[in-house]
């Protein structure tokens, strides 16, 4: 059960994701260079946070052309597990692996703080160790986390149970005050119709050990390991 963590110029959460997969989840892991199309027989791919290619043009707009992303698209089409975190979520949307787009935060400021997210769908490989309605505390750190899609796409997401996380308050209420970036309907994470691709703005790797202040994010990695073991 091997994790692959992609490195783009500007990635800055790649080592955090690698550490969590390898040292905390105790799974084999390797780095994948953006210029290589070889996924090295990995069972799950993590597209980490950071500022791929300096976020020039817009977040993820250049990274989507990297050779590794063509391999990731083919991998996902075959049912491979792909997790995009923060900038990785943005790249997955730009690459067409997930619908919608991530826009500037409504306050036009970078936001970095712990937030509460409610689990809307626990029937995915990424959330099977969670309870539906469970509230997780996981940090965010982004300037463009304001998720948007058109009405037809939102209808599809709801029909397919594709909304996986929503920003909430500590008791799980979906409120405007709990929304840190203006995201449509408080959406913090979505999955593909096949549920094998997940994009989320919060950083689970930053909440995966007690030393980091909490372990709620580790449930994402635990779920992935369990899903890979079941394959």
Residues annotated as part of the active site: 86, 203, 205
DSSP per-residue letters across the chain: --EEEEE-TTB-SHHHHHHIIIIIS---EEEEETT----TT-SEEEE--B-GGGG-SSTTTTGGGSHHHHHHHHHHHTT-EEEEETHHHHHHHHTTSSSSEEE--TTSS-EEEEEEEEES---STTTTTS-TT-EEEEEEEES--EEE--HHHHHHHHHTT-EEEEEE-TTS---STT-SS--GGGEEEEE-TTS-EEEESS-GGGGSBGGGTB-TTHHHHHHHHHHHHH-
């Amino acid at each position: 059960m091997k994790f692959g963590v992609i490195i783009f110029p500007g990635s800055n959460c790649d080592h955090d994701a690698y550490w969590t997969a390898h040292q905390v989840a105790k799974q084999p892991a390797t780095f994948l260079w953006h210029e290589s199309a070889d996924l090295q027989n990995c069972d799950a791919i993590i597209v980490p946070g950071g500022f791929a290619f300096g976020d020039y043009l817009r977040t993820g707009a250049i990274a989507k052309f990297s050779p590794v992303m063509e391999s990731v698209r083919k991998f996902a089409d075959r049912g491979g597990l792909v997790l995009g975190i923060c900038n990785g979520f943005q790249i997955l949307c730009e690459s067409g692996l997930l619908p919608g787009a991530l826009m500037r935060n409504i306050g036009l400021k970078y936001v970095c703080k712990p937030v509460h997210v409610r689990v809307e769908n626990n029937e995915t490989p990424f959330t099977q160790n969670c309870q539906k309605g469970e509230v997780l505390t996981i940090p965010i750190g982004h300037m463009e986390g304001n998720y948007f899609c058109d009405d037809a796409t939102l209808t599809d997401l709801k029909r397919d149970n594709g909304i996986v996380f929503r920003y909430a308050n500590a008791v799980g209420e979906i409120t405007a005050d709990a929304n840190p970036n203006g995201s449509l309907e408080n959406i913090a994470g979505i999955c593909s119709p096949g549920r094998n691709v997940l994009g989320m703005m919060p950083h689970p790797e930053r909440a995966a050990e007690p030393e980091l202040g909490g372990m709620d994010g580790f449930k994402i990695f635990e779920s992935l390991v369990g899903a890979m073991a079941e394959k």
